Structure 1
Amino acid sequence: MADLVIRNARLVDGSGAPARPADVSVDDGLITSVDDAGTGGRAGREIDADGLLLTPGWVDVHTHYDAQASWDPYLTPSSWHGVTSVVMGNCGVGFAPASPDRHEWLIELMEGVEDIPGSAMTEGITWEWESFEEFLDALDARHYAIDLGAQIAHGPVRGYVMGERGAANEAATAEDIAAMSAIVESGLRAGALGFSTSRTPLHKSLSGELVPGTHAGADELLGIADALGRVGHGVFQFAPDHVEVPVSEMPWMRDIARRTGRTVSVNLNQPDSAPDLWREVLAQLDESRAEGLSIVAQIAGRSVGLLMCLEGSFNPLDFHAAYASVSALPLADRVAALQSAELRAALRVEPDGDLFRKVVLDKLDSWWAVADGDIDYEPHVDDSIGAVARRTGTHPIDLVIDQLCAHDGHGMILTPFFNYGYGDLSFQYEAHQHPSTRMGLADAGAHCRVICDGGTPTFMLTHWTRDRTRGPKLPLELVVHRQTRQTAELYGLGDRGLIAPGMRADLNLIEYDRLTFGPPRMAYDLPAGARRLVQKADGYVATFVDGVQTVDHDEFTGELPGRLVRGPR
């Protein structure tokens, strides 16, 4: 008799096959059988799914829980959204290796790049480690609601080996490169799932310095990547300067893939400045695939955009001198002050200089008010604040103020800055069907005060397979495959992401027709009372990790079966 059987489910198994009615049996954390609906065996616990959607647990390979793993056993928001395995340590930032005198520097690096409050990290990180191996041991000693794996990041490795020279992005010597490669090799042998770096000018520490390794030469990148070749596993992941990918980055990416036999994974977004660049990148990936090289592009599920609000780190009124007199007031008092005719009149007057025009008045056609229901991540240009102002004859600053003050001061304005270059999500629609792209870039755990994309796994179902109206939808079986089996295989996690006999029982039982999530809200639940934007789901009837139920109707059961994943399997 099995531990569990889920009967009469609408099974989408993660392989890419269409949905079918099925019974799924689980015993001792493993799937033991997948049978036609109504034919499964007996079990100690039986659930009649009655047609609910049954999928593997989502595998999110692009998160930033490196700090949060010290204090949050639930690793939210991922565990609110059906994610059962995550990979962290992306984009060249992390916390190991870490000399004792480098703790503050590493925190400032993470705060600058990923907008995780420094006060939360200062209070919450436990620092039981110096080496990366000790960092993995510290994670291994904890229990979580989901499984997590870690990559070793270039920033801390460079700082550990090169000190201030590494932090200042000075060129690495041959001895430096050999030492870094040795640290990465040791970390991979201890269980790291890959190595990550950053080469984008957008990634800077809190002090404004570029992330260590941003300008690393090909000799340094290849020398470190050789560690992956020696060990025989691991992904080389990096955040690029997007316009340089098809020009200066692709040659060394191909060299690494050819030389090591390992996968190179590059972040790919659609910048407004070059909205068709992605087509050139995908064409080059086709060429690499034809040559037998393993190079993939991670793409997001939706536009990447700032959420501007009175509680966040970015608010358009901050750029107007008239707002300074009330900006430090408590939220309720600020909302009340913004209702005064005098302050509103002052805010309508364009200040001297061109800053306010550049960052506010010239951007109104790409700003959208966030409604009280589900947030629209594919809004129409006719609904922008600029368009509404022209259509109604309302001053746009009044619309901005009204939206920020809505819902007792919790109102938000969305402004996409990546992946909306055509005014819709057609880039994602095409890119998600390309054989050399992978689902990623939701950045769960990061950008806490201005971006809230950790709920993307849920969005992939609600928007792309069910609700989209501004273009064609994506097949449900494709979307499930892309965030289960395909992402698991990217990092060598061959034991999950598929509902088949012998696989791990990481499962989601979903009320698909009702699945939804509301607008993000600001919560003050990080260590030191620091704030973050959160967005929960509604419709996860059950989530199982290693056969143990962790979520029951969108609430945690308190079970913590998740563990550190060491290396591929």
Structure 2
Amino acid sequence: MQLLRGALIVDGVLSPAWTGDLLFDASGILEIGPDLSGRVGSHVSVRDCQGLALAPGFIDVHTHDDAALLLDPAMRPKLSQGVTTVVVGNCGISLVPLRLAPDQALPPPLNLLPAEAYRYARFADYRAALEAAQPAVNVLALVGHTALRAACMPELDRPARPAELAAMCALLDQALAEGAGGLSSGTFYAPAAAAPPEELLALARVAARHSGRIYATHLRDEMAGVLAAIEEAADTAHQAGLPLQISHHKCAGHRQWGRAIETLALIERLARRQDLGLDVYPYLAGSTVLREDLVDGHTPIRLTWSAPHPERSGQWLAEVASEWGVTEVEACRRLQPGGACYFQMCEDDVDRILAHPLAMIGSDGLPHDRQPHPRLWGAFPRVLAHYSRERGLLSLERAVHKMSGQSAQRFGLLHERGQLRPGAAADLLLFDPAVVQDAADYADPCRPARGIEAVWVNGRLALEAGVERARAGRVLSPCASRAAGASSS
């Protein structure tokens, strides 16, 4: 049993911050009050937290940590930011239910996860592997539409045939029954682009039969056709009766800059008829696989990895093209398969989206990139430092809410996580609000943040002064009584 004394309590559900004490053990948070020190015995460990803020552990609602949880279960990129729960299986990319044959190709974007990790035909098998690995953070796993297609279809450049769609639905149904948290899609990418809305609707209806599940989507188009893509995703979720999460919402490409005013107005209108939310990462650059169609001559592109030319990781595509004496498109072609950061967004749009009441924070970090986007190590402290303390775009309470209570509510976890209250799980973050700062940048993207004092996961000390301690993460499933909608108060 431990008492955290004299901390600035930021409870994750938008209550004004106040100074007080919190008592907890491995069973969860026991008591919160203005002064508990006189009510506990000598057997209780007391930690003085004066000058520090205490918040619920952050929930990263958009990750690609599916294999990282198994291959590097210490999960330092997330723990060092105060993240205690990750949502995996996003953008249609999940390890379940794809078990790769020895000669089976792994098309982008499935290759954002290592090929050797695709060995789980059932969610129960993946869950067992996670439990055996004992990662340092909790995990909620979605099932990817693209992974379902790859498991059931010999070619992916067409709609699923009736028998193939039935097989996909059966696999999804089984995974959800075994504890998966919902369905994700990524029709932005070639292996899923040929899927018509009817294919996605059939799968969404399967997910809707399981209480508390969600549909998260990387929209078909985040550029010129973004409004139509939002409407397609919303219609699919609405017809299925399933909550919708728009993944890493953005207006990508310089011709779309300023259009967040339009997209958010549409999202607000749709949210009046259905359960809808969105997430965003706090940067002007995105990151994904190398694609020639994203090379437009205007967007700066920084390489994160290249299979044929690994030495080019961290370099600018334009510099590589100039050195080779070829166009950027040709250089992109020669560097594939690979990945890159695309500086596609403008600051005004990111500000509008991040500050919107329906928006929560997801890192979208890619842990297997050779030179990853700094969001992998820095997204959450960046919100606290740059967007809250330095610029005042968000109050401290609102910033923490977008990374804890709002996220927990959205993904069906609020009954036990995302807030500081007696009875909730003791996923806790202690940080210095005057010091906390992301340190990762594009040149040196794997530096841990400053100002994160300690992190507890399920009541056990997981990180202290930058040193990993116990690994106490659990595999989570949504609560059947999932609260509808993201908080907009």
TM-score interval w.r.t. the shorter chain? Answer: 0.7 to 0.9
Residue aligning to 1:502: 423
**264, 268, 288: which one aligns with 1:286:** 268
- Contact residue 301 and residue 442 of structure 1 kept, 8 A: no
Aligned AA for 2:408?
A: A
Distance 1:252 1:548, change over 3 A: closer
Is it true that 1:171 corresponds to 2:159 in the alignment?
yes
TM-score, length basis structure 1: 0.72
Counterparts of 1:521-540 in structure 2 under 5 Å?
533-540=445-452
Give the counterpart letter for 1:556 in structure 2: E
What is the aligned partner in structure 1 of residue 474 from structure 2? 563
Runs (4+) of structure 1 moved beyond 6 Å?
Answer: 356-359
Tell me by how many angstroms 1:126 deviates.
8.0
Write the distance in 1 (CA, Å) between the matches of 2:372 and 2:258. 26
Partner of 2:169: 181
| Post-superposition offset of 1:509 | 0.8
Q: Is the 8 A contact 2:302 2:314 kept in 1?
A: no
Q: CA deviation at 1:160?
A: 1.3
Choose the corresponding residue for 2:21, options 23, 27, 31: 23
> Quick check: which has more Rg, 1 or 2?
1
**Deviation readout 1:462-490 (Å, 9 max, x if unpaired):** 1111123xxx4311100000000111111
Match of 2:313 in 1: 312
Q: Which structure 2 residue ranges, 5 or more long, are not aligned?
A: 287-300, 305-310, 333-339, 481-489
> Could you say which residue in structure 2 is the equivalent of 1:215?
194
Q: Write the deviation string for residues 12-35 of structure 1: whole angstroms up to 9, x where unpaired.
A: 110112211010010333111110
Cα distance, 1:169 vs structure 2: 2.2
Residues 1:36 and 2:34 are matched in the alignment: yes
Mapped partners of 2:384, 2:233: distance in 1: 36
CA drift at 1:519: 4.0
CA contact (8 A) 1:257 1:264 kept: no
Deviation for aligned residue 1:60: 0.3
Q: Are the counterparts in 2 of residues 154 and 196 from structure 1 also a CA contact under 8 Å? A: yes
Alignment of 1:258-337 (within 5 A): 258-271=239-252, 272-291=254-273, 293-304=274-285, 307=302, 312=313, 314-315=315-316, 316-321=318-323
Looking at structure 2, the residues matched to 442 and 248 of structure 1 have their Cα atoms a distance apart, in angstroms, of 20
The yes-or-no answer on 1:192 pairing with 2:183 is no
Aligned partner of residue 133 in structure 1, secondary structure: helix
Q: What is residue 344 of structure 2 aligned with on the other side? A: 418
Q: State the match for 2:390 in structure 1.
A: 467
Deviates more, 1:545-554 or 1:70-79: 70-79
* 2:99 is the alignment partner of 1:99: yes
* Shift in alpha-carbon separation, 1:294–1:515, aligned structure 2, 3 A: same
Is the partner of 2:246 in helix, strand or coil?
strand
Retained in 1: the 8 A contact 2:197–2:236?
Answer: no
* Contact 1:8–1:38 (CA under 8 A) maintained in structure 2: no
CA contact (8 A) 1:153 1:196 kept: yes
The Cα offsets for residues 121-158 of structure 1, whole Å up to 9 and x where unpaired, read as 54xx383x322332222223221111112111112211
Match of 1:136, SS state, is helix
Q: Contact 2:250 / 2:260 at 8 angstroms: preserved in 1?
A: yes
Tell me whether 1:10 sits opposite 2:8 in the alignment: yes
Whole-angstrom distance in 2 between the partners of 1:216 and 1:102: 26
TM-score for both structures, normalised by structure 2: 0.83
1:512-541: CA deviation from partner (whole Å, max 9, x where unpaired): 212224344889xxxxxxxxx412112211
Aligned to 1:46: 46
SS at match of 2:160: coil
Q: 5+ unaligned residues in a row in structure 1: which ranges?
A: 204-209, 325-350, 360-413, 524-532
Q: Aligned-residue CA RMSD in angstroms?
A: 2.8
Match of 1:429 in 2: 351
**Cα 1:100–1:419 shift into 2, 3 Å:** closer
Q: Name 1:449's counterpart in structure 2.
A: 371
What fraction of aligned residue pairs are identical, expressed as a percent? Answer: 23
Question: Partner of 2:147: helix, strand, or coil?
Answer: helix
Q: Tell me if structure 2 keeps the 8 A contact 1:257–1:295.
A: no
